[in-house]
Structure 1
């Protein structure tokens, strides 16, 4: 493909339609053929994907400022002049569509992962979706015997050919998987820029769109964790039980840590154990669990580290327990929780630390 060669309109439509989930308006195989027919086609796609910062900016904003997003994108493309010359000539409407495409990429999976996703589905319009809103959890058993527990604010999608042609899952949120064994069909979880592949095992994947980390914890068996090519490289790590892979979507690093895993994957069990983490982190967990929003009146409150065990307690019971563990007052108003410092308890707390 030369610098002046244009992308066919049908391919532009296919890219936007495919990435935005409008399966019935495009031919995924047509896009696949275009990507494979010329290395520069896939290179163009990968370069667009590489501008993943736009995605992060859009995720953190309540409204999309297209001009600002496009300006940031152009700054990145200035480093790639041959691409910049092409996209700067786009009309405002097409620029808006391009920004939306980048937002939908969710961490920039890149051409190779897109190719894998295309291979999943010969009938891309027939997807099955399960979602759990904040304040609830659910579990389900798939046709192959695999069991999945979905945490609050989680969505999974899979094609109707699941268990016959493939065993591929798309995840946004957090889920625990007890995978039925099938050596012929690997079980693959795609979560933003990361794919986790297993044959038969137990593992947890946490990939909320508002968080920069994608975490995979292995409890039993083994899994291969792959990251995309948004940073110009592919990397795979093989986990053994008691290990956690953490992908940082801000810098593209994939690291492996040791963990007992027990408490971190206890969210769907009778006893949910929250090990010593700061109150800011606990607030995020409780927001999903009870469908509320926390507000801190003092940043010092965010730093207190606590350990909690939650069974079937109400939110108010949990908040009351927290007041015994830290110098905090709370006010609960419908779905809003206001946390303030308790000055008298703070003095006692400070004396204990001396």
Structure 2
């Protein structure tokens, strides 16, 4: 089994070997890896099989958005083209996409099986063109009025307390102070549909990125001793510093208290766990279900996450891959030894599809890999199929996962 920390290094060596650009030291390293196990040897043989490489190149070249998709890769690899060796160039293009993105099985290298390459399911996926909606949201004002927002929509809104709200370039912004401060605190809610994402700048200057199928309830102005908002789903926060007014996020079972920091909260109703991952600063995590007297809380340091499961109120602190935790905000899917069930829930929210499992499918099976979030879903599913562990079929808007 290849360890996660070695994965991208080996993938890079394999890609370089196709263009004969390996140094003697790199060649020795690659040879040693191939000799480590029969699984590594089989994978190496598959990746250097011209017929297999051509088949995978054809799959990606036939994507709906192939002109845009290949332009960037062609520019990146143009220096590697050798006269009279078109196959090498195509193989490199294939390696540039597949090797950095390929999903590996947590139990070992069961990749590139004939099942993944030749099944009728792959042919079905090639005809599926499902993309996310992108920058869309719905704003619910204090009086219940709903306003649909899109990335290129510009609109100025005034709440009844005088707060100025502006939507521009997929960012909803609140003015720093109301025109007519009232005793009553007014709340707005920003709702992100499945397949969407959006940004908001709160009245104190705090920036929030909201993921698909999420919502954030917040005051138009922070008038009290604390700045508290309510999250369902997933969001990344860059909190404006204000030592006199702590910022608090309530996310179902978690209360997160900060002064000024950067962190990600994932609290979807259909997920078995809630997570807060810290990128910068420090945060205090409390379990909402415990009484104030029993709350000890957990203080997170950067590079760690707090986890609460639905069946266990104990807060667990784990080392976290911060890049993977924040990947959605940066336009990527990064799976770091992630279960099939968790992965499919993310795809369901992002592509607004319903996922059904056939009997016998192991949803705890783990994958590692990365791919652009704005890819068509067929590309991601094709990579998962290459493990030979599961296959997919579409019917209407339902994705069926089969053994």
TM-score of Structure 1 vs Structure 2, range by shorter chain: 0.5 to 0.7
CA contact (8 A) 2:272 2:310 kept: yes
2:302 is aligned with 1:241: yes
Partner residue, 1:131: 191
Alpha-carbon spacing, 1:337–1:166, altered in 2? closer, same or farther (3 Å): same
2:387 is aligned with 1:325: yes
Structure 1 position 165, deviation (Å): 5.8
Write 1 or 2 for the structure with the bigger share of helix: 1
Partner residue, 1:283: 344
Single out whichever of 133-142 and 222-231 deviates more from structure 2: 222-231
**2:216 & 2:224 partners in 1: Cα distance?**
18
Larger radius of gyration: 2
CA contact (8 A) 1:201 1:221 kept: yes
Alpha-carbon spacing, 1:276–1:229, altered in 2? closer, same or farther (3 Å): closer
What TM-score, normalized by structure 1, do the two folds share?
0.58
CA contact (8 A) 1:131 1:156 kept: yes
**1:251 & 1:182 partners in 2: Cα distance?**
33
**2:330 & 2:393 partners in 1: Cα distance?**
28
CA contact (8 A) 2:201 2:207 kept: yes
Deviations 1:178-197 (A, max 9, x none): 11111121111011132101
CA contact (8 A) 1:301 1:340 kept: no
SS of 2:313's equivalent in the other structure is coil
SS of 1:233's equivalent in the other structure is coil
**1:247 & 1:291 partners in 2: Cα distance?**
26
What TM-score, normalized by structure 2, do the two folds share?
0.51
SS of 1:263's equivalent in the other structure is helix
CA RMSD of aligned residues (A): 2.3
Equivalent pairs counted in the alignment come to: 222
Partner residue, 1:155: 215
**2:305 & 2:397 partners in 1: Cα distance?**
33
Deviations 1:32-70 (A, max 9, x none): xxxxxxxxxxxxxxxxxxxxxxxxxxxxxxxxxxxxxxx
Structure 1 position 204, deviation (Å): 0.7
SS of 1:282's equivalent in the other structure is helix
- Ranges in structure 1 where 5+ consecutive residues have no aligned partner: 1-22, 25-120, 342-354
1:224 to 278, 281, 284: 284
Partner residue, 2:371: 310
**1:274 & 1:220 partners in 2: Cα distance?**
21
Alpha-carbon spacing, 1:324–1:148, altered in 2? closer, same or farther (3 Å): same
**2:192 & 2:221 partners in 1: Cα distance?**
23
Structure 1 position 217, deviation (Å): 0.7
- Ranges in structure 2 where 5+ consecutive residues have no aligned partner: 1-141, 144-181
Alpha-carbon spacing, 1:303–1:170, altered in 2? closer, same or farther (3 Å): closer
Greater RCO, 1 or 2 (C-alpha within 8 Å, sep 6+): 2
CA contact (8 A) 1:279 1:304 kept: yes
Structure 1 position 159, deviation (Å): 1.6
Deviations 1:131-167 (A, max 9, x none): 1011111112222221111111111101222277642
Partner residue, 2:256: 196
